[in-house]
A and B are shown apart, each in its own frame.
Chain A
Amino acid sequence: MIVGIASGKGGTGKTTVATNLALSLNGKVQLLDCDVEEPNAHLFLKPKFHGSESVGIPIPQVDEKLCTFCGKCGEICQYGAILAVKKKVLVFPELCHGCGGCSLVCPEAAISEVMREIGTVEKGVVRGVDFVHGRLHVGEPMAPPLIRAVKEKTNNQGTVIIDAPPGTSCPVIESIKGSGYVILVTEPTPFGLYDLTLAVDMVKALSIPSGVIINKADIGDRGVDQFCQRENLPVLLRIPLERRIAEAYSRGEMMVDIYPEYKEKFRSVISEVKRLIGE
């Protein structure tokens, strides 16, 4: 089973939930940190890494000896990543999505493709959990191809937990697509509520069933609870705001190590999820 952990906004405790969940479950567990822009799960789990690979996208390379500067490449490119000017072809690597259109359309076969590294995927293991994450190079705009590379490492055994980036746009969709269930982590505040409503619309658009974990459950107001009731969204767990949890988090310590009773609570979350999706 693949469970995605997402939240409309960052800082709600998504990574806390994903990492503690991973340490609580019995059997085979894999954690994929798909927040390649700001990967954090490894800071808490401290896995032993045993492999890293480069991830790139294919970008055009123009052989100017063959090129007649016809400009067809610039016409087909939807992203303004290639442009023929008089006696030169300009390529803007950061804008290229690697679709291959320019090399296909070039009548002189002057365009070949070369891999441009955008980040790395690293694999590791910690306390029986198989760990994978991606790291986008600073200055690279395009996260989705790296997220796809992280997801290709899914072993499809036992429980696969996906820590998604915050928000609701393309990197998030790329991360949770294919999940059997999505757990949305939120805070019971007006910001938390607004971002939760966006996240719920997103999972609905993807037709993935979802439930909610309310973090810092004792702050804020009743808005999130009322929304969950109205939308028929199961509240799977409430985690109170406790100074000890917050401090432990700031140091990078795991909640289940400080409050072992949370292991049982996280296991129940997964049993409940399985029951809900009939697994």
Chain B
Amino acid sequence: MKELVVISGKGGTGKTTIVAAFATLAQDKVMADADVDAPDLHIILDPTITRREEFRSGNLAFINKELCTECGKCRELCRFGAISEGYVVDKIDCEGCGVCYNFCPAEAIEFKEEVSGEWFISETRFGSLVHAQLGVAKENSGKLVTLVRKNAKMLAENKGKELIIVDGAPGIGCAVISSITGSDLVLIISEPTISGIHDMRRTAALAAHFKIPTAVCINKCDINLEISQNIRSYCQENNLKLVGEIPFDTVVTEAMVHRKSVIEFSQGAVSQEIERTWQNTTRLLNQSGEA
């Protein structure tokens, strides 16, 4: 079984648009939306949820006012400034480290497990989708990403599917690291802007850090021809496979407004280039792990 993770470094480069198009093109696969912070894939895939689970991760501290003697020990020890002068734990600031709970001399602190999101298995017109929604102002998106990927893998195994396509998280921090570790191929969707190329480099460095084969697709490649050329050269120098160059077209937004993938919506230049990108990506995927 192969796992492809599509990421973008900077958001808004068209990652989800391309994943949705791939979903239309690929046969025999399971989809996973690992952008648990701002999942958008469901908007196009229109899933029917068949299984819904709570995501529990980590504990938070609560001070029991009846037992608290206001000795100040917890406030002194908490490194995250989460306990107020009135001895109330701020749910947002608390990192759940448990230090206060372990050292409170009055044993006035409870340490309770938190529900910090939900995850789902759904059916869509393109096959099964595993997705999630992190609760508002909640932590541990990395753990939720891992959970989504794990369930996608189990689902693929049960259904005998050979491919998992993952819509990855933005950035280069914990959520992205959890999105890509152990996958077979990372596809970076870049755009030819000075911030786009900057972020692409950082993202490619991250994939290299974890030694994952990496491909690049330039989206909106005609917005700035010079920077597109720079991205091409960068790919060549760094042994990154350039799998596609998709032109800018407002049809992408129109398709989204109609809640369709670009491939379903149009047969124009964008769709054709995405098909070529998909073929190149499949070829790389099939090669991965063989060497």
- In the complex, whether A93 has a CB less than 8 A from a CB of chain B is no
Report A233-267 CB contacts with B as 1/0, cut-off 8 Å. 00000000000001101111000000000000000
A-B interface contact total, Cβ < 8 Å: 173
**Chain B residue at smallest Cβ distance from A221:** B257
Q: Are A205 and B137 in contact (CB under 8 A)?
A: yes
* Stretch of A8-16, A48-56, A62-70 at the chain-chain interface: A8-16
- In the complex, whether B95 has a CB less than 8 A from a CB of chain A is yes
**Chain A residue at smallest Cβ distance from B196:** A250
Tell me, rounded to whole Å, the shortest Cβ–Cβ distance linking B223 to chain A.
5
* Stretch of B37-45, B123-131, B153-161, B233-241 at the chain-chain interface: B37-45
B173 partner, pick from A98, A136, A194, beta carbons under 8 A: A136
| A142-B174, A169-B134, A250-B193 known; A38+B10 contact, CB < 8 A | yes
Residues of A within 8 A of B138 (CB): 169-170
Residues of A within 8 A of B256 (CB): 189-191, 220
**Chain A residue at smallest Cβ distance from B40:** A191
**Chain B positions 153-207 with a Cβ under 8 Å from a chain A Cβ:** 170-177, 191-196, 198-199, 202, 205-206
B172 partner, pick from A8, A138, A202, beta carbons under 8 A: A138
Residues of A within 8 A of B205 (CB): 138
CA distance A165 to B173 in the complex (A): 11
- In the complex, whether B115 has a CB less than 8 A from a CB of chain A is no
- In the complex, whether B75 has a CB less than 8 A from a CB of chain A is no
Q: Are B257 and A190 in contact (CB under 8 A)?
A: yes
Q: Are A43 and B194 in contact (CB under 8 A)?
A: yes
Report B140-157 CB contacts with A as 1/0, cut-off 8 Å. 011000000000000000
CA distance A254 to B25 in the complex (A): 39
Of A170, A177, A189, most buried by chain B (CB within 10 Å of CB) is A170
**Chain A positions 191-232 with a Cβ under 8 Å from a chain B Cβ:** 191, 194-195, 198, 201-202, 205-206, 219-221
Report whether over half of chain A's contact residues are helix, strand or loop; otherwise say mixed. loop
| A141-B174, A251-B194 known; A168+B137 contact, CB < 8 A | yes
- In the complex, whether B288 has a CB less than 8 A from a CB of chain A is no
**Chain A residue at smallest Cβ distance from B12:** A11
- In the complex, whether A78 has a CB less than 8 A from a CB of chain B is yes
Tell me, rounded to whole Å, the shortest Cβ–Cβ distance linking A58 to chain B.
8
B170 partner, pick from A136, A166, A220, beta carbons under 8 A: A166
CA distance A99 to B79 in the complex (A): 6
Tell me, rounded to whole Å, the shortest Cβ–Cβ distance linking B183 to chain A.
16
**Chain B residue at smallest Cβ distance from A99:** B97
| A97-B97, A205-B137, A247-B224 known; A195+B38 contact, CB < 8 A | yes
**Chain A positions 155-171 with a Cβ under 8 Å from a chain B Cβ:** 165-171
**Chain B residue at smallest Cβ distance from A216:** B253
Residues of B within 8 A of A251 (CB): 193-194, 224, 227
| A168-B37, A190-B257, A221-B257 known; A10+B12 contact, CB < 8 A | yes
- In the complex, whether A124 has a CB less than 8 A from a CB of chain B is no
Q: Are A11 and B11 in contact (CB under 8 A)?
A: yes
Q: Are A173 and B137 in contact (CB under 8 A)?
A: yes
Residues of B within 8 A of A272 (CB): none
10 residue pairs, one from A and one from B, having the closest CB atoms = A11-B12, A10-B11, A99-B97, A141-B174, A37-B171, A250-B224, A252-B194, A167-B37, A40-B195, A250-B193
Q: What 7 additional pairs, Cβ within 8 angstroms, besides A136-B172, A194-B40?
A: A38-B172, A142-B173, A167-B171, A250-B192, A250-B193, A250-B194, A251-B227
Sampled A-B contacts (9; CB under 8 Å): A44-B194, A99-B80, A138-B209, A141-B174, A143-B174, A167-B170, A191-B16, A191-B256, A246-B223
